[in-house]
Structure 1
Amino acid sequence: MVVRVGCRRAAGLCGGLSRRIHHQPQRAPAAKGLLAAQCERGLFQEVFPAQRAEEGLPALLEPGQPPQTVYCGFDATADSLHVGHLLTVMGLLHFQRAGHNVIALVGGATARLGDPSGRAKEREPLSEELAREHALGLREGLRRLFDNHRQLFWPAAGGARWGEVMLQDNAWWLGREPVVGFLCRVGGRLRMGTLLSRQSCQARLRSAEGMSLAEFLYPALQAYDFLHLHRHHGCRIQLGGADQMGNIMSGYELVTKVTGEDVFGITVPLITSTTGDKLGKSAGNAVWLNRDKTSPFELYQFFVRQPDSTVERYLKLFTFLPLPEIEHMMEMHAKEPEKWGPQKRLAAEVTKLVHGKEGLESAKRCTKALYYSNVEALEAMSDQELQELFREAPFAELLLEPGMSVLDLCRKANAIPDGPSGYVPFVFFNTSLLYELHLYISRNSLLTEGLLCSVLSYIKTTSSHPSEKSISEVLMICLPILQTQVGEKHRCRTH
């Protein structure tokens, strides 16, 4: 039986925990009302098994009790985490803040089988080498998150004792597990009827493609992870996304049958797009937590663009801000919605956690340059930021001749189409603007220590008349051009 923590039936679980620990010594300030606090924030969605969780889980987490160990798995189906993973990471961080030990388990072995949960068809198989590379990328990404959390958010927690963090990879034990031995020890403990009754299994069996044996055995391998971590690290709580409840149930079944001890599962909500699709690699809408895939600026903008209908919920889920502060922020937002205060704070908190202070500064610098025409921000942008900002733009490296204008440079880089097909062949001049084949140049002739900063906007239209033009895409191209001297040539990069 599953209990949904965020609804009325869970009020006893959350409220009871708060009452019992009200006057007891605390292991850490965050430990008081851990379940109740996360119920209120909406982070913990379901607890399994319901009856035992209501009785046993609050007792395990009470201050004065030994620290518990909680784990969450991240299959290495890609070499980076994405925003869809961030809520489970937040769950681990809240446990760590409460003084409990956390294990971030990378699924280097299970990724090769592929989790069928929520999927309409089987994943493409991963080679052992690729799975190993992906697992390394995930471990590095998780390490950055925990390091940023410790360095940038620990002082705000009052210096309380936090739990330990362990990074594990199930390839370290599943890769050495003999097939026959595994089936004897694990297969005999799990019931076919129970596995077949899972929603993920039922949906795939009804599909035209069906379900492979590898996918069917996936819950057994994940269940064995829980058993392994329970035996070697005393882990009694598994955390996962809402779509992982079936796998969590299998782990509970295996651990309780083998050890006779109570263990628990907690799920967090799934993050979806505005269309209701789950955010992630499979859906093709992943917002990555690796700078090589999604820049700090892009991550920042993803959260800045959240509508009013979701920003309060996301502030509760993705940040450590106190609820009264969030409530006050939303009250101020109702009075001054044009300032986008909650969205900017949300974006700043998440970007700082994922990319650190430097990443947040980079995101703000790119935002000022791109959306506020801030010349100082343009001058301060690094080559890496330019590359990230225009990741999809064509790239050319040219020699800048003495006396060459920005327009000449763009023509040499083939930034201006040769023919008028699809573009309006007209020219308009004034003191600062030039329209030529829909190339728009806004030149800020500002020399600072020999640096000429120019900004170009390449406007692609679908209309053949300027008065009716419909801009479908605007690409800002920032060109820091070194001031040239007679007889000298400088290498200039342009997008």
Structure 2
Amino acid sequence: MSQATEFTAQQNDASFDNIWQELLWRGLIQVSTDQAELEKTLSTESVTYYCGFDPTAASLHLGHLVQLLLMRRLQLAGHKPLALVGGSTGMIGDPRPTTERSMQTKEQVAEWVADIQAQVQPFLSFEGDNAARMVNNLDWTAPMSAIDFLREVGKHYRVGTMIKKDIVASRLNSDEGISYAEFSYQILQGLDFLELFRQYGCTLQTGGSDQWGNLTSGTELIRKAAGGSVHAIGTPLITNSDGTKFGKSEGNAIWLNPKMTSPYEFYQFWLNTADADVAERLRIFTFRSRQEIEELARATEERPHERAAQKALAWDVNSLVHGVEATEKVIAASAAIFGNGELSDLDESTLRAATAELPHTEVAQSGLGIVELLVASALVDSNSAARRTIAEGGAYVNNRKVTDADAVIDPTALLHGRYLLVRRGKRTMAIVEVLGG
């Protein structure tokens, strides 16, 4: 994962009275403990806070990005972040609403812990007076015996309260039920907050509002076991204006790992944001000021065809997650695909990502005639149609117009020794992979 943009480019909006007011305006507070007390504390003290990330996959996704940016905004306001990657909770996994998670091996979880830690690190500053700290809950759960866990932690929990938590209640009412392992997850998360409270004076936990039961598990445990008063913030679950789940397309998550969602796909995801959603996305996922976002919102209303807000959103978020250089490559790739740049300048992974949704054809040999190539790509359905397209000036290979129907493709024209971008007219394209190239 590339480094995030320079921290000097990130700042909170000075037009707000305090960080709490900005978080409210950005739509980042769905539920919390005492709001008045939180606003006062965050405005007058340096608070140590944490957010947990369980390694249940090799990468974080867009839901986690909300938390990472919330953490960064709080750090910019002078507060001290603890980024917890759950080496122990990741072995159990927080309960899903409908089905039990598949347990991973300890070795797999440890590998994913390292992956997630590497993803989290660029979003926070680990230097200065309020430097971030990376923590792993395996450090305090692994040495604890089952008896110690039950005596020191379990005794503070009441089963009647635990089964009323939304996720637990949902699973209890399902055909599958819930295992004791997943049922106990809220205790493990409560233990995390207690341990961070004791070790680092942590008094605030953030997470998604769907985790509210787990968040309050910690606040209650600290009250009972340590006599402490702490806070929790639950961010809203983000949905599109049409009610569909944000960040999902046909069941596929948008990952932060560029090997799982390429920078090109990531950029296009943001660029394709609906007009009705773009202002909200700018508030949540960028560091643009209130004035800038309001100006972009007006531009969307007055000149929607320009898509200025979507371009700003895609640039900012892609640059934040994958770096400015990767974003510039993505934009260059988009231009090159439509003839406004050199395809040969694109690295292979960017070319593949940029053409991933085009029709793809494999041919066994190089040196194809242009007529054969047009037919093989399925852009035309016959040799005569191919010749007619060429005669009318509508045939292109790698953005170069082909005017000779008897022309043969030079093997040196293959992009990265194997690809040809074939185009009919302005926008009808296919990618041909020459296996014997």
| TM above 0.5 | yes
Q: 1:179 to 1:452 in 2, by over 3 A?
A: closer
Query: Counterpart in 2 of 1:263?
Result: 230
Q: How many positions carry a matched residue from both structures?
A: 409
1:223 is paired with a residue of what secondary structure?
A: helix
Query: Counterpart in 2 of 1:247?
Result: 214
Query: Counterpart in 2 of 1:43?
Result: 28
Q: 1:189 to 1:397 in 2, by over 3 A?
A: farther
Q: 1:452 to 1:129 in 2, by over 3 A?
A: closer
The aligned runs of 1:338-417 (5 Å cut-off) are: 338-370=305-337, 372-376=338-342, 378-390=343-355, 404-405=367-368, 407=370
1:235 is paired with a residue of what secondary structure?
A: coil
Q: 1:255 to 1:58 in 2, by over 3 A?
A: same
Q: 1:143 to 1:32 in 2, by over 3 A?
A: same
Q: Aligned equivalents of 2:121 and 2:436: distance in 1?
A: 35
1:477 is paired with a residue of what secondary structure?
A: strand
2:57 is paired with a residue of what secondary structure?
A: coil
Query: Counterpart in 2 of 1:203?
Result: 170
Q: Does 1:477 align with 2:434?
A: no
Q: Aligned equivalents of 1:110 and 1:36: distance in 2?
A: 33
> Which residue of the other structure, out of 401, 406, 421, is the alignment partner of 1:455?
421
Q: Does 1:298 align with 2:255?
A: no
Higher relative contact order (CA 8 A, sep 6+): 2
The aligned runs of 1:75-224 (5 Å cut-off) are: 75-117=54-96, 119-146=97-124, 163-224=130-191
> Which residue of the other structure, out of 38, 48, 52, is the alignment partner of 1:57?
38
Structure 2 contact 50–204 (Cα < 8 Å) conserved: yes
Q: Which runs of 4+ in 1 moved over 6 A?
A: 280-283, 392-399, 450-453, 492-495
Letter in 1 for 2:123: L
Structure 1 contact 96–162 (Cα < 8 Å) conserved: no
Query: Counterpart in 1 of 2:408?
Result: none
1:293 is paired with a residue of what secondary structure?
A: coil
Structure 2 contact 80–131 (Cα < 8 Å) conserved: yes
Q: 1:141 to 1:167 in 2, by over 3 A?
A: same
Q: Aligned equivalents of 2:428 and 2:161: distance in 1?
A: 54
Structure 1 contact 30–98 (Cα < 8 Å) conserved: no
Letter in 2 for 1:379: S
> Which residue of the other structure, out of 256, 262, 277, is the alignment partner of 1:289?
256
| CA apart distance, 1:38 | 0.7
Which digits, 9 at most, give the CA deviation of each residue in 1:305-360, with x for residues without a partner?
11111101111111111111111112122222111000110111100110011121
Q: Aligned equivalents of 2:211 and 2:268: distance in 1?
A: 29
2:257 is paired with a residue of what secondary structure?
A: coil
Report the aligned-residue RMSD. Answer: 3.6
Query: Counterpart in 2 of 1:428?
Result: 385
1:271 is paired with a residue of what secondary structure?
A: coil
List gaps (5 residues or longer) in structure 2: 1-11, 402-411
* Percentage of pairs with the same residue: 33
| CA apart distance, 1:431 | 7.8
1:84 is paired with a residue of what secondary structure?
A: helix
In terms of fraction of residues, the more strand-rich structure is: 1
Q: Does 1:272 align with 2:270?
A: no
List gaps (5 residues or longer) in structure 1: 1-26, 151-160, 418-422, 460-472, 480-491
Which digits, 9 at most, give the CA deviation of each residue in 1:1-20, with x for residues without a partner?
xxxxxxxxxxxxxxxxxxxx
| CA apart distance, 1:398 | 7.7
1:219 is paired with a residue of what secondary structure?
A: helix
Q: 1:335 to 1:58 in 2, by over 3 A?
A: closer
TM-score, L = length of structure 2? 0.82
Q: Aligned equivalents of 2:246 and 2:73: distance in 1?
A: 22
| CA apart distance, 1:167 | 1.9
Structure 1 contact 98–163 (Cα < 8 Å) conserved: no
TM-score, L = length of structure 1? 0.73
